[in-house]
Amino acid sequence: MPHPSSRITGIIPSGKDGWEVHFLAMTRRQAGEDIIMLSVGDHDFDTPSETVEACVRAVRDGFHHYTQLPGIPKLRKAMADVSTRSTGCITDKDEIIATPGGQAALYAAVQAVLDPGGHAIVVAPYYATYPGTFRAAGAGFTVVETRAEDGFQPNVAAIEKAVEPNTRAILINTPNNPTGAVYTRKSLEGIAEICIRHDLWLLSDEVYWTLGGGEHISPRSLPGMAERTLVLNSMSKSHGMTGWRIGWVTGPTSLIRQLVSLNLVTTYGLTDFVSHAATEALENDYGVKEIAERYAARRTVFLDAVRGMNEVTVRGSAGGMYVMLDVRAVEPDCEKFAWAFLEKERVSVMPGISFGDAAKGHVRISLCQPEDILREAAERLRRFVSTHRSKAA
């Protein structure tokens, strides 16, 4: 057969994307094993019933047709209103383009600001799809690692040092997946100053903005940044709608207008009835407060359960849906730790290395399980670390 394009084969060059532990654990669980799944950020509860009923009504009311490429006007208006709240900047619907989920928003933003051969800077740990998204655009990137000992806050001096003549963008994520770190105003101001001085775009992934600890600060609100910031958002986490695939990009009107052309040749718009249900969910904040409270409570339960655990340290973990554990004192190789934990205690966690070298020696714990299961997982973890002996020790 003919060869596939290098564009496709180069997205994940090694063929290994860090999800191997999760996929095996899922297979074993589906076969009937008692495995606790803490390796994926998908809610263990259904979408709020109000949103579901809104979708049913939209189907019955005949919303079965093509939609406008940037998203139906009511949806974009609702997204703009949420963006006004989340970023602190008054936002018009013409500064919004709707996308099928947060990943499509990321893809659109990268395609919008980077040409083949261009360069970006990515602050790590990062969400696992970031590198592949840059490769799909034919762009290079430099990873700037944060330090666990600094609470995974960005190192502004290291970001400055990574700027190259062909650098066009910086990508950040706060509240952060996988660490749960919430970037401080000082960190964001330092990054903003670099963007302004070097005339760079800032891609700000804020899909966990409702699940942060304390005040959410969007770099779009900082002086001089609205014109050069693309904010990526999604209803997946905030509204309990992971499978509905609704996200959006907020940015300057002129760039958003150009992104409509990308939708023309990719998504060709969103699903009609889903768009109407999403509009109602955004306008009424269906589930937002309850979901945020649920994850805050789960974070507290799990952190209380692991407090005082020998040789395991919590890093970051102020927001989002995850807790990051430093397990280097138990097992320096986090992949080996994850495989052994699955085998001995039947708990699935994500190796930190899946999210970049900054998270080496860590594992990510998803809080997408009820509190009693999180307590049981913590008990299995305590038992595991008390008996595990690294072969490298």
Residue range 310-340, pLDDT digits in tens: 889 999 888 889 999 999 999 999 999 999 9
* The CATH number of domain 6-46+288-387, selected from 3.40.50.2000, 3.90.1150.10, 3.40.1260.10, 3.40.50.1820: 3.90.1150.10
pLDDT of residue 161: 98
Model-level pTM? 0.93
Distances (CA, A) of 338 to 125, 281, 393: 18, 37, 17
Q: How far is 3 from 335, CA to CA, in rounded Å? A: 33
What SS3 string covers 52-120? Answer: HHHHHHHHHCCCCCCCCCCCCHHHHHHHHHHHHHHHCCCCCHHHEEEECCHHHHHHHHHHHHCCCCCEE
Q: What is the mean pLDDT of residues 238-251?
A: 97
Q: Is 375 exposed, middle or buried (0-12, 13-18, 19+ CB in 10 A)?
A: middle
pLDDT of residue 355: 87
For the chain, the structural domain boundaries read 6-46+288-387, 49-284
pLDDT of residue 350: 94
Tokens of 7: 């564009």
Tokens of 2: 């003919």
Give buried/exposed letters for 97-117 (b at 16+ CB in 10 A, else e): bbbbbbbbbbbbbbbbbbeee
Give the count of beta carbons closer than 10 Å to the beta carbon of residue 386.
Answer: 11
Tokens of 210: 């409702």
Residue range 164-198, pLDDT digits in tens: 999 999 999 999 998 889 999 999 999 999 999 99
CATH class of 49-284: alpha beta
pLDDT of residue 14: 62
Q: What is the mean pLDDT of residues 200-206?
A: 98
85 has a pLDDT exceeding 80: yes
Q: Can you say how many angstroms the Cα of residue 387 is from the centroid of all Cα atoms in its chain?
A: 33
Q: How far is 3 from 194, CA to CA, in rounded Å? A: 42
Tokens of 382: 């305590």
Closest C-alpha to 94, from 69, 73, 108: 73
Closest C-alpha to 318, from 217, 190, 239: 217
